[in-house]
């Protein structure tokens, strides 16, 4: 009987996490260009073009930029050349991509 309760608990736990993943999936129509960035600007386009919270991390996971954009253009002139991780939050969705700055 103890094994049955453990199995049911794990089943409910798994179902709960799978529902969270569906509500927090990739942003519809997400486009990030140009990548690699050469002119200090990157454009982030989505299907709804709602305000976006943008977090950029270096390869060690240290936050280097956190900002909110209302349009599509993000200025990256303050970033050194290198490889970064960019997370874009729009409404209840998130998109994570590798970002290269030259």
Cβ-in-10-Å burial (0-12, 13-18, 19+) of 52 comes to buried
Of 51, 53, 73, nearest in space to 65 by CA: 53
What pLDDT score does 37 carry?
A: 97
Torsion of CA 63, 69, 71, 75, to 10 degrees: -50
Average pLDDT over the chain, rounded to an integer? 85
What pLDDT score does 65 carry?
A: 97
- Mean pLDDT value across residues 20-30: 70
Tens-place pLDDT, residues 36-84: 999 999 999 999 999 999 999 999 999 999 999 999 999 999 999 999 9
Query: At a CB cut-off of 8 Å and minimum separation 6, what does 98 contact?
Result: 35, 83, 84, 85, 86
Of 48, 37, 60, nearest in space to 88 by CA: 48
Domain range 27-101, CATH class? mainly beta
Whether cis (ω within 30° of 0) applies to the bond prior to 81 is no
For the entire predicted model, the pTM comes to 0.75
Domain range annotation of the chain: 27-101
Which tokens belong to 3?
Answer: 């094994």
Tens-place pLDDT, residues 53-65: 999 999 999 999 9
């Amino acid at each position: 009987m103890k094994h049955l309760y453990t199995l049911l608990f794990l089943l409910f736990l798994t179902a709960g996490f799978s529902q969270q993943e569906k509500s927090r999936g990739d942003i519809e129509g997400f486009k990030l260009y140009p990548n690699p960035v050469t002119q200090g600007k990157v454009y982030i386009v989505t299907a709804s073009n709602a305000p976006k919270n943008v977090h950029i991390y270096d390869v060690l996971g240290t936050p280097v930029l956190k900002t909110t954009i209302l349009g599509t253009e993000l200025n990256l002139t303050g970033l050194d050349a290198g490889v970064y991780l960019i997370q874009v939050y729009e409404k209840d969705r998130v998109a994570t991509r590798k970002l290269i700055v030259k």
